[in-house]
Amino acid sequence: MQTQTLERMESDVRTYSRSFPVVFTKAQNARLTDESGREYIDFLAGAGTLNYGHNNPHLKQALVDYLASDGIVHGLDFWTAAKRDYLETLEEVILKPRGLDYKVHFPGPTGTNAVEAAIRLARVAKGRHNIVTFTNGFHGVTMGALATTGNRKFREATGGVPTVGAAFMPYDGYLGDATDTLDYFEKLLGDKSGGLDVPAAVIVETVQGEGGINVSGLEWLKRLEGLCRANDILLIVDDIQAGCGRTGKFFSFEHAGVTPDIVTNSKSLSGFGLPFAHVLMRPELDKWKPGQYNGTFRGFNLAFATAAAAMRKYWSDDTFERDVQRKARIVEERFAKIAAWLTEEKGIPASERGRGLMRGIDVGQGDIADKITAKAFENGLVIETSGQDGEVVKCLCPLTIPDEDLIEGLDILETSAKQALS
């Protein structure tokens, strides 16, 4: 495989090609193929962007049909038939059955753009600047979103320009199982000299993806919602990674029965890996003036077509979500087995955690996790790590992965852990 041009010309900022230094050519569902014809099982799936697999045939057909009909591809934020169909499908298939009523803002097509728009809207709506975010949260790397992102690696890359406007609270579990971290937030909210500027909003991931598959308790989320309501603070759920079925429900907050004021989705929203994001907001929060938050790529019509097709295909009844839950149990069981082996045979304290098909094995140290994932890649499995030190081996396989590939991927991971640490 010829990689000289790639190595010479692409900026050092590249990341994933360092872990998987081959040239990929094709992909189908949960399998990637490189230029030499070798196949890999994909447990990374675009970091949660390919919930419905690579080149999903139903969605590809919708895309090809749309292109063949000379449908509008780019139209700024023109009204198009594709946009109308997307909104109607979102309302009928997703929002109404869940008793949700939201207006929809199409910012630029990336996750960080949706977060920027969401926190700015919250500030405009409440007339306050502060946004409460949580330890280990990841919300993107543009300046506004970066202020709410915990990881120092990203925060240090601003050339010294301070990231402002956010205050960090401890996420659920941050201080150990015995402490409810919301006691601290509640105390600060009620303390006039606690130092916390009354926030416009709280932004939270129900399961922290980049932060290490940290799962917030359903009671904790419910309590967070209550604290927000009681103190006139907006609740923003950043569902960019945990949404679109990853945790076993379309929205990850459904498990807790909370109703956010604002929701961000991106990653798997188009269904096909096309760049696409939206912000959902309670109708009365729509304080934007026309064009006040703009962008050239607002609502990508090809993504409207594939996203609507994905909602119709996978979310019209509960067959798909039940299947995700079933596969999640397979991963959970195997991860628990691998974690037990690491702990008992190797003396490496390890544990598994997750919700739905957003799961990880915490092996405590980044270098151990790296050894396992590097060996897994040698053995034909693409899998990444997350967490502050990269100490969590995480599975984000396509939700549509065939059982054979899921089992084969898990077999490879188990064997690789044993080989890497023997």
Ligand X SMILES: *Cc1c(COP(=O)(O)O)cnc(C)c1O
Instruction: Compare residues 146 and 376 and give the one whose CB is closer to ligand X.
Output: 146
Query: Cβ closer to ligand X: 233 or 274?
Result: 274
Choice between 210 and 352, CB closer to ligand X: 210
Asked if 72 and 301 touch (Cβ cutoff 8 Å), the reply is yes
Q: How far is the CB of 268 from ligand X (least distance, A)?
A: 10
Q: How many CB atoms lie within 10 A of CB 37?
A: 8
How far is residue 201's CA from residue 216's CA, in Å, rounded to a whole number? Answer: 18
Task: Give 210 or 225: the residue with its C-beta nearer to ligand X.
Answer: 210
Nearer to ligand X, 56 or 266 (CB): 266
The nearer residue to ligand X, 13 or 178, going by C-beta atoms, is: 13
Work out how close the CB of 62 gets to ligand X at its nearest, in angstroms, rounded to a whole number: 22
Task: State the nearest-atom distance from the C-beta of 136 to ligand X, in Å.
Answer: 11
CA distance 323 to 398: 12
Per-residue burial over 360-395, b if 16 or more Cβ lie within 10 Å, else e, is: bbbbbeeebbbbbbebbbebbbbbbbbbbebbbbbb
Task: Select the residue whose beta carbon is closest to ligand X and give its number.
Answer: 111
* Nearer to ligand X (CB atom), residue 110 or residue 181: 110
Instruction: Give least dist CB 145 to ligand X, A.
Output: 7
| Count of all residues that appear for the chain in the document | 422
Of the candidates 140, 101, 100, the residue with the CA atom closest to the CA atom of residue 120: 140
**Where on the chain is the footprint of ligand X (CB under 6 A)?**
110-112, 115, 138-140, 205, 209-210, 238, 240-241, 266-267
Least distance to ligand X, CB of residue 16, Å: 12
Concatenated DSSP letters of 107-173: -SSSHHHHHHHHHHHHHHHHT---EEEETT----SSHHHHTT---HHHHTTTTTPPP-SEEEEPPTT
Residues near 99 by Cβ (< 8 Å), separated by ≥ 6?
none
Q: How far is the CB of 191 from ligand X (least distance, A)?
A: 30
Q: How far is the CB of 81 from ligand X (least distance, A)?
A: 27
Q: Rounded distance, CA 83 to CA 79, Å? A: 7
